[in-house]
Structure 1
Amino acid sequence: MNDKHIIIVGAGAAGIAAASRLLECGINDLLILEAENRIGGRVWTADFGEGVVDMGGHWVHGEKGNVVFNMANPLNLLGESVTALFDNSTIFVQSSGKFVDMETKSKVLSLMSEIEDESDEDLKTFHGSLGDYFTKEFQRRLKEEHTVSDKDVPLAYSMLDWFEKMENSIDGSDSWFETSGQGLTEYWECDGNLLWTWKTGGYHQALDLLMRKYPDPAQELPVMSKTLLNKEVTKIVWDKSGKEKVRIYCLDGSWYSANHVIVTTSLGVLKEKASVMFSPALPDQKLVAIEGLAIGTVDKIFLKFPYRWWPIDCQGFNLLWSEHDADEFTQENQKARRDKSWLQGVFAFHTVDNQPLALCGWITGPHARHMETLSEDQVTEDAMELLNKFLGKMYNIPQPDEMKRTLWTANPHFRGSYSFRSMKTDRLGTNASRLAEPVLNSEGKPVLLFAGEATHDHYFSTVHGAIETGWREANRLIKLYNCHSLINHSYDVIIIGAGISGLAAARKLLEGGIDNVLILEAQSYTGGRILSLPLNGSWVEAGAQWIHGQNNEIWKLANHYELLTDEVSAEGEGPYIREDGVVLDPALVFEVYNVVAGILEECENYCVSNDSNAPSSIGYYLKKRFDEYLDSCHTDSKEVRDMKQQLYDWHIRFQIIDNSCTFLDKLSAKAWGKYIFSGGKDYVNFKHGYSSLIHSIISSLPSGLVRLNSPVRKIRWKHYVDGPDFNINVKESYTNDVDFGNRSSDTSSEQKHPVIVTCDDGVWFGCEHVIVTSSLGYLKENYRTMFEPALPPLMVQAIQDMGFSTINKIYLLFDKPWWSSDIKGFQLIWSEARTVEPSKNEPSSWTRHLTGFDVLPKHKGVLLGWVGGKGAELVEQLTEDDVGRHCSELLRKFTQQPDIPLPRSVIRTQWYSNPYIRGGYSNTTSMCDSSKVGPVTLSNPVCADVRDGSRTSLQQPVLLFAGEATHESYFSTTHGAYESGQRQASRILEYRKKVKEHLH
């Protein structure tokens, strides 16, 4: 069928985002028409050498507010790029072959940075181009501040010329005299590192995340099956009256019709074809926006060499042409009757992340467009001439064995790289909002909708901006059809969170005959704190590591799916080494272990004791009893007593990690014995990672059950539910806050539900019951604003008083093991046994909170480090390079092996930084003892009275909380989380059974 409800023109980031969002919301009658023979548009990851390179979108720019970062970072797909423009790892080299000295480089770059920093405010009121502003300020300050000596002034201007080219590559302009100064301030930078790179697989992974291909293929949305490639659209005929559907004609003679068309073609294509592509013509305001907004050319030239010929500590070269050399080069080309002037547009060759033998040349504007007209052999030959001119005196540069370059303007399906605000934009008084505004028919319905990076007010030129615009237009249509059957807003049960407890609840409800269920998951993947990350054909666990025991539902389920191995693991293995290299006697290690274990076993009795003298905390009791033990060791030498104290310090760190707390002094001694081991083997491993269990569960559930990327903003519930059908008038209760879009005033606006759940994207859902499986860390941050009316006081007290801190894992990946094959790990013992608070001023102080490193038997050359307490929070603020360096320095110190290398890469978790998790798992604090709250308090459902006019009143469980923090004896475990989800689902099933009996 060529007749669709929605057609999307273009399968770039915006088109894929729009299609994914529509499919997530149940709108399936759609089609994507893509002109290229691949999806992705200006996101294009291509094979190169033994790996890949990104021909289009290169880096993930920033963290806060960046939707790509938010999708990719929790899955550990991103790393900090080695590329730098200004620091000492990048060399500035002149056309004479001479390197710029560090002092001059530093002075001129500092001057440029100062101007750039101050321009943020100055440009808001500046009526001119970026080039006007910058060159004027540079000339003035260079002269007034005597930044460099007179002899270096020409060099400073060569650096200014380079800076313009670099700035043009960022903005996408031909010249910074074309770039609007005021327009530049419309761009918003996402806070955080601006140069995140993809660890493996390239930027195409962003598309995989949108389509849910990763990390769980079972969750993949059918975007590809809705996409037709090699479908270049030539004509879009639309009807102003709204009586006829839009017709879309393609170059191959095919045509399609739709109620709505989302146009995601690049601004370059719109500039070239808008006047002939649309019939009738687009509104004048739209055409002015297309004319006024600008798009330029930024190209890349990748060269792969047979070996690395540049220094190991060099991340690239910035090329500076002197005026004399530039003129001479032009004259030589004229004599040779060969125009190589395009080479003067190549302003840098930088290293390529994950391609150790490759350099990437950057070129912009008319020089780039000239390069696109040349053959690949000519480009390679000329690029090598350029490299040899600048660097041939210093290095013996081999011929590259592979070259790949981009052709963004020559390609008729793009006609440019990305958009910017030009002086013409200012003159015509237009903006991105006008380009983004949908074209309506006479009935007021959007017929033509526009998406793509150029339509974003503030994130233009970025992939995350493009994605947001795709979501924006999809949401526009979703809101339009709120009152129709394309999307279901009414559910029996909504589950917040697709972690193991949420999935367990869904399974139980489905088994009990309730199939009208929806799971809303804030993140881009299912599993929550269960997350297996791929590594060299295998995996490592970012979250849950083992199954603890066999007599529990998780083990039974995993065993049913044949996911388990016979192998079991252990903790704290390997030599216990002090920082002076002394290896402690295993017998002494075992003795202290037994003493600490015995003391903790004593604490198990307090959970059933009414002893008024019960200890206030685990930390207090452990210290008291261990001090008594030390006092009883009369025959020990001071050295042995010190070693025992040092081993005790290790156990304190271990228990802080094991209980995911900050201090043992805050850990309840009375609650210690409430934890129950389920029995059987402990530390049970999976064959293919813990996430294989999540994938198995998901594959057994109906498709469409989970809605990803759907953070819940508000849960509104009622104390009293009137009538046997438990209905509340939504229109009366919630119209102040719920956006009904174009809903009519018929019965569709009279939908009645006891609970309304609203997501961040404005989409709302009504239901009878809500099971909240959010982590305790998330509840601590959001319970005040998430629930309306407020939760019962006792439940609030439990959320406040229960503990939820952070543990993190550090995986160090070495090229090969530097330890002997019999070593199972390294446990770190400090001679000065004391708790050290990590300091931001001393970044490596976080390592004091490590217990040690375990050798991973399934991986060659991989160590796993565990860190807890405040150190686990501090380490998240460091780069992975810093983490690896700190760990290598620590291991050199303890093992007394100065030749331990830096790891080739680091995988580390960041659970505290994850806004939807905010830590590791729960614990019961001593505050809970006095307030008499705990997991049971959280597990009690919040109910509403159901009144039907009779004397009988039923208590309907409206809000139910599940997750490991709600399990009184299996807290902190996946099987506890699973059982809690099942328990709350069972309560709903039991209640509905009673209702059925009551009605009959």
Structure 2
Amino acid sequence: MGLGLPSLFLLPLLLGVLFWIAEAAHPCDVITGGYSNWIGSAINKDVVIVGGGISGLSAMKKLLEEQVTNAVILEAQDYLGGRVKTYRQGSILVEDGAEWIHGGSRNPLYQLANSLGMLTQPLADSAYDWRVKTSTGTQASEAGYNVAEQVFFECEKGSVIQNYYNTAIGQCYKDKFGSFYNNGKTLAGEKSAWLHYLNMFVLRDVGLNDWMKESGRDFDQFTSFGGEDKLNQWSQGYDALTNNLKSSIPQDKIKLSTPVCKIFWESDPNGKALVVTSTKEAYLTDYVLVTASIGHLQERHLQLFDPPLPASYQNNLNRLELGLADKIHLGWSSPWWKALNPKPLDMQVIFKVFDLPTEESWLYGVMEVMGVHQQLNLLQAFVNGDYAQKMENLSDDDVKRHILKFLRRVTGQTVPEPTFFRRSQWGKNVWVRGSYSSYITVSGDQAGLKSRNPLSVPITNSYGNKVIHWAGEHTNGTRYGTVDGALGSGTRAAVRIINDM
């Protein structure tokens, strides 16, 4: 039976109500009432750590080393590690989040993994089945790839990027690409395709949503350890780091599936903070260390903090953006791309034509399909920014169907149905709302945020107590967007708390 006129009139109202209900269904919306409703049942703690990611775990480890034992980690999700999330299925191992140890031996994680006998050395370029293809399956110019790679590293030079402090790093890539491409032995018909490829290359490697958004000044503050292209890995999965940190923390100091919903930081007459969780537990504490992602903080800080954070801090929070990078993983019983003497596939893809159906347009964000963790039968593709958002809004079946159609078109080969499929959806995760790298926007820089230092400064209440401390990759001014940066920020925050006690 069709809809009558009254039903049609009410349909927008009904959809609006349903939308409101969906938006209201945040796990923390069950928590109501003020300080006085919760103080009576509060458990006393010296330190409450909000978040059991790498920064939260490293902070707890440091506190315990300094004999600060009356502390607890409250983690919203049902696992530790945050954006370090390893998934296993039988012999298959994939990383939903962090995957590589960047920077070689100068990275402290390299040293730790090596000392534990868990460091995987990268394969030589010759070990890969390396291809450069167009989206329609024809051979693309390798010279175009060389230009994109040269431009990428050119805009990492301090002497170059300093000229872009007052604009976006994307402008550097655009400018240098034009001069490099025109001077090289490259195909004129592929120029726009390789510029798009470079754009996607940057979004993936730097962790941006839009290369015209990150401030050149912010980009230049990142400290490279050198050898950033040396892609070492944890041989048994990145969660080996999580497990290593967790091993020194007593189990009773970690509470999983315990989202923090309210932090009252001005209400206690003794100048302490009261932390309330969705499980209706309350903790009265001298120090709250907040390690949540900046994506979550931007979305929920007005509901989380009572009273609201100082206006200056709120403004600085909104002068950053958290990038979105998702992965798609596919596995087969054997490598279909080559029957004899197969190698891990590493295929670069450019789009000379943008002719995909609208629902498949997220594939324009795929610029490389490559092997996973040196497992011969697995492939992965990154999808970034707006393209990742489009992908997240599709069903698993649609994403799998689209990527298989794409692979068949690009390779011209028979690609069987995979025996393994997985994709991440970091944007839909209410506790993260993004992936591995935050960045100060051009508008944020112009509004006065010239570095990330203000984001790591503790908040002092009217009683003169530094009750709120900060950690997480976005608070690390020189190694943001990295796991070692998150690790260091947690240790730094713990030292500040210890020194203030």
Instruction: Give the TM-score range, shorter chain.
Output: 0.7 to 0.9
Deviations 1:327-354 (A, max 9, x none): xxxxxxxxxxxxxxxxxxxxxxxxxxxx
Choose which of 258, 270, 285 in structure 2 pairs with 1:710. Answer: 258
**Structure 2 residue aligned with 1:831:** 352
Native 8 Å contact 1:967 1:980 kept in 2: yes
Deviations 1:182-238 (A, max 9, x none): xxxxxx9xx99xxxxxxxxxxxxxxxxxxxxxxxxxxxxxxxxxxxxxxxxxxxxxx
Choose which of 621, 624, 627 in structure 1 pairs with 2:175. Answer: 624
Choose which of 559, 564, 569 in structure 1 pairs with 2:119. Answer: 564
**Structure 2 residue aligned with 1:883:** 399
**Counterpart amino acid of residue 905 in structure 1:** F
Native 8 Å contact 1:592 1:644 kept in 2: no
Native 8 Å contact 2:151 2:173 kept in 1: no
Distance 2:294 2:166 in 1: 26
Distance 2:244 2:373 in 1: 25
**Structure 1 residue aligned with 2:14:** none
Choose which of 593, 600, 607 in structure 1 pairs with 2:149. Answer: 593
The 5 A counterparts of 1:56-75 are: none
Shift in CA distance, 567/580, structure 1 to aligned 2, threshold 3 Å: closer
Distance 1:845 1:588 in 2: 23
Give structure 1 stretches of 5+ with no counterpart. 1-110, 122-187, 193-467, 473-480, 720-727, 730-751, 947-954, 993-1000
Q: Which secondary structure does the structure 2 equivalent of 1:665 belong to?
A: coil
Native 8 Å contact 1:494 1:517 kept in 2: yes
Choose which of 73, 97, 106 in structure 2 pairs with 1:543. Answer: 97
Q: Does residue 554 of the first structure (1) align with residue 75 of the second (2)? A: no
Shift in CA distance, 554/857, structure 1 to aligned 2, threshold 3 Å: closer
Native 8 Å contact 2:51 2:75 kept in 1: yes
**Structure 2 residue aligned with 1:661:** 208
Shift in CA distance, 910/958, structure 1 to aligned 2, threshold 3 Å: same
Give structure 2 stretches of 5+ with no counterpart. 11-17, 31-37
Equivalent pairs counted in the alignment come to 466
Distance 1:857 1:503 in 2: 25
Native 8 Å contact 1:553 1:979 kept in 2: no
Distance 2:495 2:166 in 1: 37
Choose which of 457, 461, 466 in structure 2 pairs with 1:940. Answer: 457
Distance 2:160 2:287 in 1: 37
**Counterpart amino acid of residue 668 in structure 1:** S
Shift of 1:865: 0.7
Q: Does residue 960 of the first structure (1) align with residue 477 of the second (2)? A: no
Shift of 1:708: 1.1
Q: Which secondary structure does the structure 1 equivalent of 2:130 belong to?
A: coil
The 5 A counterparts of 1:572-971 are: 574-601=130-157, 605-606=161-162, 614-632=165-183, 640-679=187-226, 682-718=230-266, 728-729=268-269, 752=270, 754-820=272-338, 821-822=342-343, 824-832=345-353, 842-856=358-372, 858-897=374-413, 899-921=414-436, 922-933=438-449, 934-944=451-461, 956-971=465-480
The 5 A counterparts of 1:449-598 are: 489-549=43-103, 550-567=105-122, 574-598=130-154
**Counterpart amino acid of residue 286 in structure 2:** E
**Counterpart amino acid of residue 627 in structure 1:** G
Shift of 1:547: 1.3
Shift of 1:560: 3.9
- TM-score, normalised to structure 2, is 0.85
**Structure 2 residue aligned with 1:445:** none
Native 8 Å contact 2:129 2:343 kept in 1: no
Distance 2:147 2:424 in 1: 33
Deviations 1:476-512 (A, max 9, x none): xxxxx9979xxx7111110000000000110111111
**Counterpart amino acid of residue 831 in structure 1:** K
**Structure 2 residue aligned with 1:259:** none
Distance 2:51 2:375 in 1: 32
Structure 1 window deviating more from structure 2 (616-625 vs 971-980): it is 616-625
Distance 2:161 2:358 in 1: 42
**Counterpart amino acid of residue 94 in structure 2:** V
Larger Rg belongs to = 1
**Counterpart amino acid of residue 304 in structure 2:** M
The 5 A counterparts of 1:262-301 are: none
**Counterpart amino acid of residue 882 in structure 1:** D
**Counterpart amino acid of residue 397 in structure 2:** D
User: Quick one: percent identity of the two aligned structures?
Assistant: 28
Shift in CA distance, 766/852, structure 1 to aligned 2, threshold 3 Å: same
Native 8 Å contact 2:53 2:83 kept in 1: yes
Distance 1:499 1:660 in 2: 19
Native 8 Å contact 1:885 1:902 kept in 2: no
Q: Which secondary structure does the structure 1 equivalent of 2:427 belong to?
A: coil
Q: Which secondary structure does the structure 1 equivalent of 2:460 belong to?
A: strand
Deviations 1:232-267 (A, max 9, x none): xxxxxxxxxxxxxxxxxxxxxxxxxxxxxxxxxxxx
Shift in CA distance, 939/603, structure 1 to aligned 2, threshold 3 Å: farther
Native 8 Å contact 1:572 1:827 kept in 2: no
Distance 2:256 2:422 in 1: 25
Shift in CA distance, 620/603, structure 1 to aligned 2, threshold 3 Å: farther
Shift of 1:632: 4.5
Distance 1:776 1:603 in 2: 30
**Structure 2 residue aligned with 1:987:** 496
Distance 1:482 1:791 in 2: 21
Native 8 Å contact 1:824 1:855 kept in 2: yes
Distance 1:596 1:689 in 2: 28
Deviations 1:929-950 (A, max 9, x none): 212224212111112465xxxx
Native 8 Å contact 1:538 1:688 kept in 2: no
Shift of 1:788: 1.5
Shift in CA distance, 592/541, structure 1 to aligned 2, threshold 3 Å: closer
Q: Which secondary structure does the structure 2 equivalent of 1:545 belong to?
A: coil
**Structure 2 residue aligned with 1:32:** none
Q: Which secondary structure does the structure 1 equivalent of 2:283 belong to?
A: strand
Native 8 Å contact 2:271 2:461 kept in 1: no
Distance 2:218 2:160 in 1: 8
Shift of 1:880: 1.8
Shift of 1:646: 2.0
Deviations 1:375-394 (A, max 9, x none): xxxxxxxxxxxxxxxxxxxx
Distance 1:670 1:572 in 2: 36
Shift in CA distance, 702/489, structure 1 to aligned 2, threshold 3 Å: same
Native 8 Å contact 1:578 1:829 kept in 2: yes
Deviations 1:420-476 (A, max 9, x none): xxxxxxxxxxxxxxxxxxxxxxxxxxxxxxxxxxxxxxxxxxxxxxxx9xxx9xxxx
Shift in CA distance, 795/553, structure 1 to aligned 2, threshold 3 Å: farther
**Structure 1 residue aligned with 2:33:** none
Shift in CA distance, 572/773, structure 1 to aligned 2, threshold 3 Å: farther
**Counterpart amino acid of residue 562 in structure 1:** G
Distance 1:573 1:945 in 2: 62
**Counterpart amino acid of residue 138 in structure 2:** V
Native 8 Å contact 2:47 2:286 kept in 1: yes
- TM-score, normalised to structure 1, is 0.44
Q: Which secondary structure does the structure 1 equivalent of 2:383 belong to?
A: strand
Q: Which secondary structure does the structure 2 equivalent of 1:811 belong to?
A: strand
Q: Which secondary structure does the structure 2 equivalent of 1:577 belong to?
A: strand
Shift of 1:694: 0.9
Distance 2:425 2:493 in 1: 30
Native 8 Å contact 2:154 2:160 kept in 1: no
Shift of 1:594: 1.5
The 5 A counterparts of 1:392-403 are: none
**Structure 1 residue aligned with 2:35:** none
